[in-house]
């Protein structure tokens, strides 16, 4: 019997970046002078109430997080895409780090103002929430792992959401049919499309994860 290997269906490629599509997070932190910094990132995932975030080593937000031990993770939707894009190529760091300066980044002192977003006070951390973002999570720093980037773990302490994305009839649940995250994929902005299939995982009550 001869066994024929299945023919290859993939091309072997070497992408410079692996931005497969993740939600944009606007990270607010406090600067040393008490003003707020706000930076878009898209390297973020959630495990229980721990968020794991990826920052470039020259990020001013990273320095603020390490100094203060806290931040707010604001999740914009498609309505905030212009605000997010106004923050692109800006940094709270002064002077602007050499790689960023060479690639067109500029220093911005008041990034809430630049973005056109409204700072509102948090409940447990000093960094402000962005009022226009449907989700804002106050978080405290757990760990920083330094590689060629900084892999940062924070614990989500308080979750604030706009009433419009809450599940009707539930005190705690978010309605995924109403929540539309802003997704960055290979340096372009998208959002989620329609639900494509029921999930068998939904047979487990969300409360079982508590
Ligand atoms: C949509 C978007 C996603 C980004 N994702 C990341 C990211 O995941 N990690 C990161 O370090 N920088 C990311 N950046 C670049 C940062 O915003 C940039 O480094 C910025 O200067 C950080 O601001 P800061 O220096 O004030 O912290 C992203 C920028 C945009 C516009």
Tens of pLDDT along 143-183?
999 999 999 999 999 999 999 999 999 999 999 999 999 99
Long-range contacts for 5-9 (Cβ within 8 Å, ≥24 apart)? none
The answer to whether the Cα torsion of 5, 10, 11, 17 is positive or negative is negative
d(CA 86, ligand 1 centre) in Å? 12
pLDDT at 112: 98
pLDDT tens across 18-61, in order? 999 999 999 999 999 999 999 999 999 999 999 999 999 999 99
Cβ of residue 60 lying under 6 Å from some atom of ligand 1: yes
The helix (H) or strand (E) run that includes residue 60 is helix 60-68
Ligand 1 centroid vs 27 CA: distance in angstroms? 9
Nearest CA to ligand 1 atom 11: 55
Describe the strand order of the beta sheet including 182-185 as a list of residue ranges.
22-23, 182-185, 188-191
The torsion of the CA quartet 139, 144, 145, 151, rounded to 10 degrees, works out to: 40
Ligand 1 contacts CB of residue 96 (under 6 A) = no
The pLDDT assigned to 63 comes to: 98
Nearest-CA residue for ligand 1 atom 17 is 40
The bridge status of strand 90-91 relative to strand 106-107 is: parallel
Cα of 39 vs centre of ligand 1, distance in Å, is 6
Supply the pLDDT for residue 6: 87
Identify whether the C-beta of residue 53 lies closer than 8 Å to the C-beta of residue 44: yes
Separation CA 4–CA 2 (nearest Å): 6
pLDDT value at position 35?
A: 97
pLDDT at 210: 79
Helix (H, G, I), strand (E, B) or coil at 57: coil
Domains of the chain in start order, with CATH, are: 22-185 (2.30.110.10)
Q: Is 130 near ligand 1, meaning CB less than 6 Å away?
A: no
What is the rounded CA–CA span in Å between residue 136 and residue 157? 11
pLDDT beyond 90 at 9:
yes
Please check the confidence at residue 201 and state whether its pLDDT lies above 80: yes
DSSP string, 77-142: -GGGHHHHHHHTTEES-SSPPHHHHHTT-EE-S-HHHHHT--EE--SSSSSPEETTSSEEEEEEEE
Using CA atoms, how far residue 134 sits from 109, 124, 137, 172, 196, in Å, is: 24, 19, 10, 15, 23
Contact 25, 75 (CB under 8 A): yes
What pLDDT shows up at residue 81?
98
- Ligand 1 atom showing the smallest separation from residue 93 Cα: 25
Q: Are 59 and 39 in contact (CB under 8 A)?
A: yes
129 touches 46 (CB < 8 A)? no
Condensed to tens digits (0 to 9), the pLDDT of residues 88-129 reads 999 999 999 999 999 999 999 999 999 999 999 999 999 999
Q: Evaluate: CB of 28 within 6 angstroms of ligand 1.
A: no
Q: Which atom of ligand 1 is nearest to the CA of 53?
A: 8
SS3 36: strand
Distance from the CA of 208 to the center of ligand 1, in angstroms?
A: 35
Q: How confident is the model at residue 3 (pLDDT cuts 50, 70, 90)?
A: confident
């Amino acid at each position: 019997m001869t066994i024929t290997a299945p023919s290859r269906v993939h091309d072997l490629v070497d992408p410079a970046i692996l931005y497969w599509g993740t939600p944009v997070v606007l990270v607010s932190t406090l600067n040393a002078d008490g003003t707020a910094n706000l930076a878009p990132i898209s390297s973020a995932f959630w495990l229980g109430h721990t968020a794991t975030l990826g920052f470039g080593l020259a990020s001013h937000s990273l320095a603020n997080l390490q100094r203060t031990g806290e931040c707010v993770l604001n999740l914009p939707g498609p309505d905030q895409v212009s605000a997010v894009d106004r923050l692109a190529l800006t940094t709270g760091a002064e002077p602007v780090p050499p790689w960023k300066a060479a690639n067109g980044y500029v220093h911005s002192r008041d990034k809430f103002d630049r973005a056109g977003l409204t700072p509102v006070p948090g409940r447990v951390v000093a960094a402000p929430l962005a009022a226009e973002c449907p989700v804002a999570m106050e978080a405290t720093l757990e760990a920083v792992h330094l590689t060629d980037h900084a892999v940062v773990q924070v614990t989500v302490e308080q979750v604030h959401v706009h009433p419009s994305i809450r599940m009707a009839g539930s005190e705690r649940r978010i309605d995924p049919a109403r929540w539309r995250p802003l997704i960055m994929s290979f340096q372009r902005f998208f959002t989620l499309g329609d639900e494509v299939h029921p999930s068998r995982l939904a047979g487990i009550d969300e409360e079982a994860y508590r």
